[in-house]
Structure 1
């Protein structure tokens, strides 16, 4: 393209193969992944294993119980990952862990495991930003070059774009994250948490037949989701609401849980598509990369695809192996940092619930 400046990445091809072990546990999933960067510039996923802490219907997961789950499953998950990858810890060049953001107690449990392995096997530590892990894994798997990123998960909702070795946040939620909004409503209508409340809302939404009015709250590049959650919950107290989903002849006077799931999804996703399109227009990008657990939602991908196609662009997304929190994304982002000379001293291997995406120096990018 005339006038387009192409910059070479400061990250050169490795002179030897590098292998990283990544440990993720910022929420209710403990994951261990191993990734390999080879001398020919290729990247190979060697293993990607995780275990999810699932609570009964109507209940969320508490930090203390989730942290215990991670401690109980850490050894099993890590051993399974090493076995699947056919390597030992001695073959690993660095141990990467989620530094934040996330839930405090689970994060601390995973950092403790990482420190223990580092001391036992004399391996350097690399603390990783959870959000950047999602982005780098998404870029690696999909091949997206310089996309606008929509990061949607249980704890985060952000529209992000890269500039000058930093991931800039163009817009975000002003209150609760989209995944948290969906999860909390799933508890209200008593949906199962297996395999995930957001997934079950997606399946129920496919059966919805009427779009009910809900607050549509975009404020510039930001969104607000607490009001829409309150409004959709109020419908469950309406005399027209039928918890069992029966319609009695498809009467328009009946409101079902499926209608509410459908209405909630359509409204929230429309808001996300709108602010993503604004970011695309601002930076002149034709690519959208959707990452995070909610990024698995096929309806969100469909709506974003319609918008991108109208702009002559393209949507990039991954399946549940890489969208949902996993250890391999931490290994990928951590290994990129490690190859640029970054490590985390043992004395600074702490965690934080508030680790902004735009605080990370993405030294591996041009």
Structure 2
């Protein structure tokens, strides 16, 4: 297929991926509102705290019920839909000529939406990467593309999914370049850019043009001069160690749970019961579920300066680390990007409380260091440093 028709095909993939991302977001909202609030609506703002569930303490069983459905879907239809999705896409690109089964589109959409919507401590970026890639791979199979073209289209679908979901077109292109494309040239870069641009347009049309996180008018500014270099380096070292712990904790949890709980249903239900107890415990003690779902409401609260206690931020970091590692280790379907943002925000915010204690700044630096921690954690945990930096810029519109 020549470059002109291949570009047209990339545009169509961008359209399909954009609508897929919008539908995925709506599905998460519908399941979340039904599972927690008993409401039949897809309107769901993840940046706002979920009100106390109508089920009271029985809300602990909501993620358990979700675990049963997700396990049924992944065991019987698409085992590759377990986990966070990006490794499976990379495996298909580098070792499978870009071939991803079409059934993954449906199963991953349902399994991840149910996991996230019922409170599993995972993100939505990994699923939409796999969903967008599966759509692109299916289209590539229909047109019998050459392996390099199908792989390029898969990378374009992944970038398109990220762009539509997070409203980060530049970061999405960099994501595809850093992690997905074996070759970077005009023939591979242009289709990715076209698909990403198209999916961004659709995402903004249906989900809005607002950034993922809104910065308050009184957000403290920090001039990056050499006077702050020591703090930046120290925070980078701390976050790097924490990111290593984060990645290893997921694998440790998976190994331990699989060794001790052989049955897939039992393992997933036990893991989600632990997560349910954890987020219900936060509701009882501090008034919010905090560690359930993508966790954007907690991140937004930290950016707003509403969560500035070093001890609480440290507890939230530890709880989210446990919740996410158990969630994925037990067999849920969801991404690691959003939890990494949460971990970076809480750890960076806790570091900011120490800076506040020893500095003479007139305002708290917790929100600023929380944002720096978010970029550092994502870059360190995923290995995509440039993607992390640019995406945080786009997700906050603070350049």
Relative to the length of structure 1, the TM-score reads: 0.29
Higher helix share: 2
Relative to the length of structure 2, the TM-score reads: 0.27
